[in-house]
Amino acid sequence: EPEVTQTPSHQVTQMGQEVILRCVPISNHLYFYWYRQILGQKVEFLVSFYNNEISEKSEIFDDQFSVERPDGSNFTLKIRSTKLEDSAMYFCASKGYSNQPQHFGDGTRLSIL
């Protein structure tokens, strides 16, 4: 069964450094998402991406965050200058059509030191 794949599985970064989290959504999917989950808390929406542009973003997704789909297969989340509170699991998700459910990757654990 097709899967959303995320790399790396764990990223450790010094505060203030830039970090790029990578995702390969399911092939032929059209809608792409990033969510985050702080340890012990619920999953929170960050951003949705469709037709090569951001379609919706949350208050969490400020100017330090950006997303890109640089080619036909990858979808990336960049955090320009990381803060301690950015430490969390970051999940990528994708879906094929608007009425289909989202499928999630296994996440990247981001640890900011």
Partner 1 sequence: GQQLNQSPQSMFIQEGEDVSMNCTSSSIFNTWLWYKQEPGEGPVLLIALYKAGELTSNGRLTAQFGITRKDSFLNISASIPSDVGIYFCAGLGGTSYGKLTFGQGTILTVHP
Binding site for partner 1 (CB under 8 A): 4, 6, 31, 33, 35, 41-45, 48, 50, 55-56, 58, 91, 93, 95, 98-99, 101-107
Work out how close the CB of 109 gets to partner 1 at its nearest, in angstroms, rounded to a whole number.
9
CA pair distance 20, 13, nearest whole angstrom: 11
- Name which of 15 and 38 has its Cβ closer to partner 1: 38
* Residue 10 or 83 with smaller CB distance to partner 1: 10
Question: 51 forms bridges with which residues in the sheet?
Answer: none
Cβ atoms of 13 and 111 within 8 Å: the answer is yes
- For residue 72, how far is the Cα from the chain centroid? 16
Nearer to partner 1, 18 or 109 (CB): 109
DSSP 61: -
**Minimum distance of partner 1 from residue 44's CB (angstroms):** 7
Q: Choose among 89, 95, 110: nearest CA to 33.
A: 95
CB of 81 to partner 1, least distance (A): 26
